[in-house]
Amino acid sequence: MAYKKILTIQDISCVGQCSLTVALPILSACGNETCILPSAVLSTHTAGFSGFTFRDLTDDIPLIQQHWQKEGIKFDCIYTGYLGSTKQIDYVKNILTTMGAPDCIKIVDPAFADGGKLYPIFDNEYVQAMKPLCGAADILLPNISEACFLTGIEYKEEYDREYIMTLLTALSKLGCKKIVLTGVGYKKGYTGVVVFEDGKCDYYEHERIAKGCHGTGDVYASAFVGALLSGKMVFDSAAIAADYTVECIKVTQGDESHWYGVKFELALPYLIKRLGK
């Protein structure tokens, strides 16, 4: 398998096992040259910690891009995660459309909502700004909440396959070619992912662990990208990433002091084995 150069754009939470501190090691372990573009630097993530520091790096983004362009640097894949402002979205969309090598795979994780609610710092203006970025993606990785905000469809806790198909069809009208919708569960005790390609859905179901963990969305997205760049098909990548995320939660269970994330490092051998490396 060819050695791929990937760029991932998201924040750095120095402690907390999310965003770039998850993406960089997972993508590297999958055998990729992983380049990063930090959108901000925080001392910790914002879920459960108090008094954290925050350094906004928005103004650095175009300067970094200019240097890369001067050096002729291009990427085989560009994967975006949590972005902090509409201005950052505009900068990142420009990177997505100009910094790719031929056949660059563009993957967007919208990362702005969960449980039917926007994250506290975001508003409808941010959602509207996110739509063109999502439309520029080859593969979009939303959860149900993000899909609802992006399409204007009412969020539901209980739903059927027809509702999910309606969501995916509406999302595809943004322009994204393929969609992996996460957190889709049709029966108690189970959840899964739906892969939408060429108007058709494939569903991968797995067990649902009741107690959630912070950062698992970033773990999932990073493992998905790593599997895809290892030569797996979209559906297989979605399934492998789901199973790996469950494994990360399992190896973390029982350690009450580790409330702020998952011990994804301990499960990396499982991921590498699934990738056949």
222 located within any domain = yes
Q: What is the mean pLDDT of residues 142-163?
A: 96
pTM of the entire structure? 0.96
pLDDT-derived band at 203 (thresholds 50, 70, 90) equals very high
What is the total count of domains within the chain?
1
pLDDT-derived band at 1 (thresholds 50, 70, 90) equals low
What confidence tens digit (pLDDT) does each residue in 7-38 have?
Answer: 999 999 999 999 999 999 999 999 999 999 99
Ordered DSSP codes for 224-273: HHHHHHTT--HHHHHHHHHHHHHHHHHHHTT-TT--SS--GGGGHHHHHH
Q: Has residue 277 got a pLDDT over 90?
A: no
Q: What is the mean pLDDT of residues 145-161?
A: 96
Q: Is 103 helix (H, G, I), strand (E, B) or coil?
A: strand
Q: 182 has which bridge partners?
A: 143, 193
Q: Considering the chain, what percentage of its residues have pLDDT values greater than 90?
A: 84
What confidence tens digit (pLDDT) does each residue in 210-220 have?
Answer: 666 788 999 99
96 located within any domain = yes
93 located within any domain = yes
265 located within any domain = yes
277 located within any domain = no
- Buried b or exposed e, range 66-97, using 16+ CB within 10 angstroms: eebeeeeebbbbbbbbbbbbeebbbbbbebbe
Q: How far apart are CA 248 and CA 219, in angstroms?
A: 9
Q: 200 has which bridge partners?
A: 197
275 located within any domain = no
**Mean pLDDT, rounded, of the chain:** 94
Domain extent for 215? 5-270
Of 40, 38, 37, 109, which is closest to residue 73 (Cα–Cα)?
37
Q: Provide the CATH number for the domain around residue 125.
A: 3.40.1190.20
Q: How far apart are CA 40 and CA 82, in angstroms?
A: 10
Task: Look at residue 177 in the predicted model and tell me its pLDDT.
Answer: 85
Q: How far apart are CA 12 and CA 276, in angstroms?
A: 30
Four-CA torsion 240, 93, 82, 188, nearest 10 degrees = -50
Q: How many CA atoms are closer than 13 Å to the CA of 79, on its beta-carbon side?
A: 27
Contacts of 125 (CB under 8 A, 6+ apart): 86
Whether residue 163 contacts residue 156, with contact meaning beta carbons closer than 8 Å, is answered with yes
